[in-house]
Amino acid sequence: MQTRTKSAFLLLAVLVLGVVIGMLVSGVLHNRRMDRIARLRTGPGIVQLVERAVEPQSEEQRARIREVMEGAAPRFAEVFERTREEMTALSDSVMSELEAILTPQQLENLRDHMEMRRGMPPSDEWRGRDRPGRRPPRDGGPPPRDGRPPPPPPDGEPLPE
């Protein structure tokens, strides 16, 4: 095998390995974040959140805070569940009303957007950043391509509205 071919295979292997490692790390970070959010909805998670925010001054104060928060935990769980159910019902109701107003393509775009917000994969026809109907940035310029915000204006120039 020629040196050039070996170099190309090695470069390709490094690229593939980098993509795989990037996907794995992204998945792990996403799972950790979701676990942290889920823990906040439980009694111990709420207790930890409050303790970190107030930094109890004594063990007695810490124990009293825990007692109050653990007593409230079932109520927090009930409100989280009820709120989730109410949001689902409201979302379904709004979608039913919009079905009479929007075109089939607009409905599909809206459903794709909603699925992306919920962490579900979009449909096959998702067109990405340049899809029709995408709102332009407020400053009238083109949207940034790399996901970063546009640079600040030079000194002395007003900020775009």
CB atoms closer than 10 angstroms to residue 146: 4
Is pLDDT at 136 greater than 70 in this prediction?
no
The residue among 97 and 161 whose pLDDT is bigger is 97
Q: What's the mean pLDDT in 115-135?
A: 54
Contact 46, 69 (CB under 8 A): yes
Least confident among 5-14, 63-72, 88-97, 116-125: 116-125
User: Which tokens hold the place of 121?
Assistant: 């994969």
Answer yes or no: is 83 within a domain: yes
Element (H, E) at 59: helix 59-99
Answer yes or no: is 138 within a domain: no
User: Which tokens hold the place of 117?
Assistant: 């917000």
Answer yes or no: is 151 within a domain: no
Domain that holds residue 36: 20-89
Percent of the chain residues topping a pLDDT of 70: 68
The residue among 143 and 48 whose pLDDT is bigger is 48
Band the pLDDT of 123: cuts 50, 70, 90: very low
Answer yes or no: is 37 within a domain: yes
Is pLDDT at 94 greater than 60 in this prediction?
yes
Q: How many domains does the chain have?
A: 1
Q: What is the pLDDT of residue 127?
A: 43
Contact 161, 138 (CB under 8 A): yes
Is pLDDT at 134 greater than 70 in this prediction?
no
